Structure 1
Amino acid sequence: MATTQHNNSVSDERSAKFSMSKLRRSPLTILVHLSVLLIVILWTLPTAGLFISSFRDKDQLALSGWWTSLTASEQNLVARTEGPDKQKQEGDVYVLSGKLLVDGKPADVKAFGFSSREPTQYEPGEKAKMKEGTTLTVTETGEYRMASTEPFTGKRGKRVFYTAVVPPKFGLDNYKEVLTAEGIGRSFINSLTVTIPATVIPILIAAYAAYALSWMKMPGRNLLIAMVVGLLVVPLQMSLIPLLRLYNDIGAFFGVGAKTYLGIWLAHTGFGLPLAIYLLRNYISSLPREIIESAKVDGATDFEVFMRIVLPLSFPALASFGIFQFLWVWNDLLVATVFLGTGEEHMVLTARLREMLGSRGGNWEILTASAFVSIAVPLMVFFTLQRYLVRGLLSGSVK
């Protein structure tokens, strides 16, 4: 009985200590949670804004930010009155009358004018004096009246400039414009033609190299590992032009053209190999030594050990690097422009979207919609392989 009471008191004491330690850690835990939440919001807001903007009307997108997308906005619009054939004579005055509409509905007019230089010169209800004794009046509900002592002539009506409150408009017009653009399908296929081999080739080469640097005894192995790590810090821009010149010289010697897919495959392979070898070696070297040694005792060669044991066990690391390499190559513009040029035959998707956007970058609706069109395939790849991402990156960090 005394022993039971003693155990209960010890358990209660431990529970109290655990509760006190939990209370002491709670402010730090809350701070960590708030920090993570803040980081998530900071990373999510730009993407959410880009996504909302991709569905907005291009005129509203040019005038206001995405955070105002759910509220009505004031826009400067222009319309034409009824034609001269619809004029009516009221005593000694000829009148053109009608109603200004916004998306088929009566406009909520805030100001109007008859000149593009001063489109908001008059307030609703005022009488604007135009040339040759003509007057123009526009009400708040969009009803206009243009009166003149002389008959109206011409084939079209007169222009009326006005500022109206326009409700928010959303639609798929931006995506239709991007997806139906000339050459977009060919560029999509070109990007796949570049990305898939440029992802598979470095993985195959790096897997063999990583196994050799992990489990095969060779002179200078540590030096090779140090060289691989050193290559991680070489900037792509520094080596791009020398690599292109080397490829052109070799291609000219063997009669291979410069603007071919082979060149860009080799370029992306060279730029991706250091990181691939580094990640895969960390993973393969962390595999249990007993498995490798048992297979060799049973008479397996290094190739058999690699193909039957190491490669299946290394799939998380292969998938994690595959995600990174696919994203880099798919979103690449610089290497594709240098090695493939801007010809219609080999233009990749990023180059095509850049051409659609124009040199001055004023078509925001094209930019927002094309951004989500271009990330559709990488998102599919990421969500397919994302469960292996963390496992592959953290492999080898602990024993």
Structure 2
Amino acid sequence: MAGSSGKSVVGRFGVHLAVLFFVALWTVPTLGILVSSLRDKDQIIASGWWTALTSSTRTEAGRLGTAADQVEKDGRFQIAGNLFEEGESRKITAFGTRSQEPTRYKAGEVADLGDGETLQVNEDGSYVYASPKAFEGERGRRVYYSASSPPKFTTQNYRTVLFSEGIGRSFLNSLTVTIPATVIPILIAAFAAYALAWMRFPGRALLIAVIIGLLVVPLQMSLIPLLKLYNGVGTFFGVPSKTYLGIWLAHTGFGLPFAIYLLRSYIAGLPREIMESARIDGASDFEIFVKIVLPLSFPVLASFAIFQFLWVWNDLLVAMVFLGTEADQIVLTAKLNALLGSRGGDWEILTTSAFVTIIVPLIVFFSLQRYFVRGLLAGSVKGG
């Protein structure tokens, strides 16, 4: 049955379902990062983020007390203690003495280990290890157990990331890199896009073809030639190689092809009558660009600003190549990478680091999102 807009109820319902599906597709991973960033390290290892509100179970290994802890009682030697540290609220469900059978016995059961030796491990982690002979040796016997832990959330990961030395400085360094590297390509691309859309000059079609071709050039292929060129020019003029100017120019070069292509598609779709009326009134190309084209092009400028900001903010490779590793230059992504360690020993802060890095891009996106789709689609129907 068709509605007043000409679309069937089933069609509209299908569109809504599709929208909800894609919203969930993008939201669920972000929710997972947030939940994982607040979980305890041991629980991250034991279970996925979707089980954060339930108890998690994992198999661990521990050691019983040594011969120095034994006492004689009723003709038997006993070692008593607790596998948990004081204050832990976990509960043991099963235990064993071999890695092949870590859950052979239930908690509270008295396990016969042979030669008269027995071991009892209770739910609260307390144990009694008994033998008819005196225990010997300086190391306690290894025992395996399966323990369940209640849901536990902590802000320790955030304290580790946010209060680590140099994080604040690296955050400012990232802003120092990202803001100019977003604004400069927009300024250059806007002029170029207007010229390619509304001005006629020799080689115009060839320039457009070259720009489209540059869209498919991988960044990694151009890094080394660009770095050699920049270092050569810097040496000639006596300019240091590891500067903010270098990374601004690098990101500008990498972002310009897409910026010009996107902006030209939009500007070429602006009404021709407005341009012709302005020219009849005596306006120059510069006046038309500044007073008419730029105000009308704000949606597409905001769209590209979102893209460019995200690319530069999340960049690590270009920053490592064109910037130094000193405290006054290292960007946030490089600093967080250093926090993980060369072997990834502190990997539990990975989700926290990821969530910290997406906060600023989310603010930028939601501030400009009303222009996002309009800017991307406005030039896709018609073009010059």
Query: Normalized against structure 1, the TM-score is what?
Result: 0.81
| 2:215 alignment partner AA | L
Q: Which residue of 2 aligns with 1:126?
A: 110
Match of 2:91 among 97, 108, 113: 108
Alignment of 1:379 with 2:359, yes or no, is no
Q: Is the 8 A contact 1:134 1:146 kept in 2?
A: yes
The alpha-carbon distance between structure 1 residues 178 and 153, as it changes in their structure 2 partners (threshold 3 A), is farther
Match of 1:375, SS?
Answer: helix
Q: Which residue of 2 aligns with 1:5?
A: none
The alpha-carbon deviation at position 130 of structure 1 amounts to: 9.8
Which consecutive residues of structure 1, in runs of 5 or more, have no partner in the other structure?
Answer: 1-16
> What CA deviation, in whole Å up to 9, does each residue of 1:313-339 have, x standing for no partner?
221111111110000111111211221
The alpha-carbon distance between structure 1 residues 358 and 128, as it changes in their structure 2 partners (threshold 3 A), is farther
Q: Is the 8 A contact 1:77 1:161 kept in 2?
A: yes
Farther-moved stretch of structure 1 (381-390 vs 302-311): 302-311
Match of 2:145 among 152, 156, 162: 162
Q: Which residue of 1 aligns with 2:157?
A: 174
> What CA deviation, in whole Å up to 9, does each residue of 1:151-174 have, x standing for no partner?
999999998653322112112122
Q: Is the 8 A contact 2:265 2:379 kept in 1?
A: yes
The alpha-carbon distance between structure 1 residues 28 and 298, as it changes in their structure 2 partners (threshold 3 A), is closer
CA distance in 1, matches of 2:100, 2:243: 53
Alignment of 1:285 with 2:275, yes or no, is no
CA distance in 2, matches of 1:286, 1:372: 38
Match of 2:285 among 269, 284, 302: 302
Alignment of 1:49 with 2:32, yes or no, is yes
CA distance in 2, matches of 1:339, 1:130: 67
| 2:380 alignment partner AA | S
The alpha-carbon deviation at position 385 of structure 1 amounts to: 0.8
Q: Is the 8 A contact 1:102 1:166 kept in 2?
A: no
Farther-moved stretch of structure 1 (315-324 vs 117-126): 117-126
Q: Is the 8 A contact 1:122 1:128 kept in 2?
A: no
Match of 1:175, SS?
Answer: helix
The alpha-carbon deviation at position 21 of structure 1 amounts to: 11
Match of 1:139 among 122, 132, 156: 122
Match of 1:262, SS?
Answer: helix
CA distance in 1, matches of 2:55, 2:128: 26
The alpha-carbon deviation at position 256 of structure 1 amounts to: 1.4
Rg comparison, structure with higher value: 1
Q: Is the 8 A contact 1:320 1:392 kept in 2?
A: yes
Q: Which residue of 1 aligns with 2:332?
A: 349
The alpha-carbon deviation at position 362 of structure 1 amounts to: 5.8
| 1:75 alignment partner AA | R
Farther-moved stretch of structure 1 (290-299 vs 240-249): 290-299
The alpha-carbon deviation at position 382 of structure 1 amounts to: 0.5
CA distance in 1, matches of 2:24, 2:199: 47
CA distance in 2, matches of 1:387, 1:38: 20
Query: Normalized against structure 2, the TM-score is what?
Result: 0.83
Q: Which residue of 2 aligns with 1:192?
A: 175
| 1:287 alignment partner AA | L
The alpha-carbon distance between structure 1 residues 31 and 300, as it changes in their structure 2 partners (threshold 3 A), is closer
Q: Is the 8 A contact 1:175 1:369 kept in 2?
A: yes
| Greater fraction helix | 1
Q: Which residue of 2 aligns with 1:244?
A: 227
The alpha-carbon distance between structure 1 residues 78 and 271, as it changes in their structure 2 partners (threshold 3 A), is same
Farther-moved stretch of structure 1 (88-97 vs 71-80): 88-97
Q: How does 1:214-363 map to 2 (within 5 A)?
A: 214-361=197-344, 363=346
CA distance in 1, matches of 2:199, 2:92: 80
The alpha-carbon deviation at position 375 of structure 1 amounts to: 0.5
**How many residues were matched structurally?**
381
CA distance in 1, matches of 2:205, 2:86: 71
Q: Is the 8 A contact 1:128 1:137 kept in 2?
A: no
Farther-moved stretch of structure 1 (293-302 vs 196-205): 293-302
CA distance in 2, matches of 1:388, 1:38: 22
CA distance in 2, matches of 1:301, 1:146: 94
CA distance in 1, matches of 2:120, 2:309: 61
The alpha-carbon distance between structure 1 residues 63 and 320, as it changes in their structure 2 partners (threshold 3 A), is same
The share of aligned pairs that are identical, in percent, is 62
Q: Is the 8 A contact 1:113 1:128 kept in 2?
A: no
The alpha-carbon deviation at position 139 of structure 1 amounts to: 2.3
CA distance in 1, matches of 2:114, 2:152: 34
| 2:110 alignment partner AA | E
The alpha-carbon deviation at position 227 of structure 1 amounts to: 2.2
Which consecutive residues of structure 2, in runs of 5 or more, have no partner in the other structure?
Answer: none
Q: Is the 8 A contact 1:136 1:145 kept in 2?
A: yes
Q: Is the 8 A contact 2:119 2:128 kept in 1?
A: yes
| 1:166 alignment partner AA | S
Match of 2:247, SS?
Answer: helix
Farther-moved stretch of structure 1 (322-331 vs 214-223): 214-223
CA distance in 1, matches of 2:325, 2:148: 43
Alignment of 1:206 with 2:221, yes or no, is no
CA distance in 2, matches of 1:116, 1:345: 50
